[in-house]
Structure 1
Amino acid sequence: MVAGWFEGDGDGFRLLGTRCASCASVFFPREDHYCRNPACASGELEEIRLSRRGRVWSFTDSRYRPPSPYVSDPELPWQPYVLIAVELAAERIVVLGQAAPGVTVADLAVGMEAEVVPGVLHEDAATTWTTWHWRPAGVRA
């Protein structure tokens, strides 16, 4: 888990971002030192909980094993996955993430509602690295 990027689990799972107190720009991943808006010189940022739902802005499937730092076991066959870009209207940002397991490009359409859910990035005998996934709203795993 990347500290400070999300909190909670199940229906309480939320991505965490930051908002500039001066220009109201929202950032994810979070920014803790300065406003990334080139027109703003503020450094006053507050943590915010991002919307759990948004609209699919774009999506694609990944049919190749990406290079490091992506973690995958070279001894196992490659498993393609789906990437979804979701627009969060209230925050006026687009957040990219993997689709929840079992979601395929055939399940998606631009403009449909999607929700953020907890997911597993990688696990071994000692550690489970958590992340976020997107899935069509109302679909249960």
Structure 2
Amino acid sequence: MSAIVADGLFALHGDEPRLIGTRCTACDTVYFPQAPSCRNPDCREKTIERAVLPTRGILVSYTVQRYQPPSLFRIDDWQPYAIGLVDLGDGLEVMGMLSGFALDGIAIRTPVRLVAEPLYADAERGLVLTYKFAPEIEP
């Protein structure tokens, strides 16, 4: 049994994760996570629809987190990890944990793919999954 860390953040299609965002039906602006309405100040319609986002992108920036986050951000078997900013196209950049990288071997402009991995185990929900970005080709 497994569960997703936050409802509406991503969905699994078989074993493949897909981020769920929204797209404005008038100006085509894409948001992640989902937005209740369009936030583009030049848009007059503000009507959004659900959008399934690309699973591949390019690493734009990253940082290594070397401190353990507060208990609200639960991670079993915590150790330093990297968070990256990934360009998914259409002007959308998404932050997410990185997986499959050596912390001293991360390179900007690396092609990455979306993966789902356990974040922690919960007695009621089982394994709780989050999305991460891994190198398109393992280093």
TM-score interval, normalised by the smaller of the two chains: 0.7 to 0.9
Task: Point out where structure 1 has 5 or more consecutive residues left out of the alignment.
Answer: none
Q: Match for residue 105 of structure 2?
A: 107
* Counterpart secondary structure, 1:69: coil
Specify the code of the residue in structure 1 equivalent to 2:30: V
Structure with the largest fraction of strand: 2
RMSD (CA atoms): 2.1
Equivalent residue runs for 1:1-141 within 5 Å: 1=4, 2-9=6-13, 12-31=16-35, 33-72=36-75, 78-89=78-89, 91-100=90-99, 102-127=100-125, 128-139=127-138
In structure 1, how many angstroms separate the alpha carbons of the residues matched to 2:71 and 2:48? 31
In structure 1, how many angstroms separate the alpha carbons of the residues matched to 2:69 and 2:43? 35
| Equivalences, count | 134
TM-score, reference length from structure 1: 0.83
Task: Point out where structure 2 has 5 or more consecutive residues left out of the alignment.
Answer: none
In structure 2, how many angstroms separate the alpha carbons of the residues matched to 1:135 and 1:69? 24
Structure with the largest fraction of helix: 1
| Residue 9 (structure 1) shift | 4.8
Identity over the aligned pairs, expressed in percent? 35
TM-score, reference length from structure 2: 0.84
| Residue 105 (structure 1) shift | 2.8
